[in-house]
């Protein structure tokens, strides 16, 4: 894990202390530390601390400034989140691309990401400080993201960008499919047993065994699982009813 970049989260005129606390928690979950509050309507308080839930250190260390200019004064790169379409033609990035660019820029110096007030967003003058507008993909029919939710998504994307290249599905840990010959040995055993119990008609075996083969190949059992399956087959061949109670036999059909 690389160390996290110097990207500060800047809340502009936030209204609800609960949201400020939730933003602090979202930041800390993703490994970001530097919170800036621009002219908050109320300072972080008990409600903020409660919603921060363990990220109180981020709240206590938050920088409080009077305007966006002060918040980004030493930043080499500024991005502004924006829900609404703006008439001004500004470079736009989605959250993923913005996180990637922000991480790259943070190698040169501090980077700031601006989040507007809950109801009113950022003014055009505030957006003027930004190099890019960030748009988070949302349903256009219900586009109003909670402030902490927007911060959560950006911080998450920053963490993903730092961890790049993305891990992707990759192999299942600790799952080592058994070699084909072990699987085939099981399938032959299965065929013998289901023939013996009268389920497989040896005169028309093909389609059924092909289906079972396809099913178990898809499952890719490991050695341990094959051992269990073969144990079941052996128990069918040589039932040991002592532990399991009465064994249903041909008589009680």
Binding to its own copies, residues 154-193 (CB under 8 A):
156, 159-160, 163, 166-169, 172-175
Taking each helix axis from N to C end, the angle separating 17-30 and 147-163, rounded to the nearest 10 degrees, works out to 10
Q: How far is the CB of 243 from its own copies (least distance, A)?
A: 5
Q: How far is the CB of 227 from its own copies (least distance, A)?
A: 10
Token pair listed for 29: 């979950």
Rounded-to-integer distance, Cα 153 and Cα 145, Å:
10
Residues within window 75-134 making contact with its own copies, judged by CB under 8 A: 89-97, 101
Q: Is the dihedral of CA 218, 220, 224, 226 positive or negative?
A: positive
Nearer to its own copies, 66 or 215 (CB): 215
Query: By CB under 8 A, is residue 43 in contact with its own copies?
Result: no
Give the per-residue contact string, 202-231, with its own copies (x = CB under 8 A; - = no): x-----x--xx--xx-xxxx--xx--xx-x
β-sheet bridge partners, residue 93? 134
Q: What number of chain residues touch its own copies (CB under 8 A)?
A: 89
Nearest residue to 32 via CA among 115, 126, 118: 115
| Burial class of residue 174 (count of CB atoms within 10 Å of its CB; 0-12, 13-18, 19+) | exposed
Residue in 143, 179, 188, 223 binding its own copies, rule: CB under 8 A: 143
Query: By CB under 8 A, is residue 35 in contact with its own copies?
Result: no
Residue in 75, 111, 136, 178 binding its own copies, rule: CB under 8 A: 136
Token pair listed for 136: 């988070």
Residue in 65, 70, 149, 187 binding its own copies, rule: CB under 8 A: 149
């Amino acid at each position: 894990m690389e160390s996290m970049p110097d990207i500060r989260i800047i809340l502009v005129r936030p209204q609800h202390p609960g949201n400020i606390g939730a933003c602090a928690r979202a930041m800390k979950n993703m490994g970001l530390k530097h919170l800036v509050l621009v002219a908050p309507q109320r300072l972080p308080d008990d409600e903020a601390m409660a919603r921060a839930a363990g990220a109180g250190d981020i709240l206590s260390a938050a920088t409080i400034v009077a305007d966006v200019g002060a918040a980004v004064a030493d930043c080499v790169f500024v991005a502004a989140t924006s829900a609404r379409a703006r008439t001004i033609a500004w470079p736009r990035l989605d959250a993923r691309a913005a996180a990637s660019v922000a991480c790259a820029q943070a190698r040169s110096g501090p980077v700031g990401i601006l989040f507007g007030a809950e109801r009113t967003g950022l003014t055009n003058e505030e957006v003027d400080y930004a190099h890019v507008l960030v748009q988070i993909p949302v349903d256009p029919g219900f586009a109003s993201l909670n402030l902490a939710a927007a911060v959560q998504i950006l911080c998450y994307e920053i963490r993903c960008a730092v961890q790049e290249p993305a891990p992707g599905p990759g192999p299942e840990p600790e799952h080592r499919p058994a070699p084909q010959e072990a699987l085939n040995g099981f399938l032959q055993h299965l065929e013998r047993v289901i023939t013996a119990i009268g389920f497989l008609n040896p005169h028309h075996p093909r389609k059924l065994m092909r289906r079972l083969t396809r099913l178990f190949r898809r499952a890719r059992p490991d050695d341990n699982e094959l051992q269990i399956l073969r144990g079941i087959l052996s128990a069918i061949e040589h039932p040991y009813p002592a532990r399991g109670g009465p064994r249903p036999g041909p008589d009680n059909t």
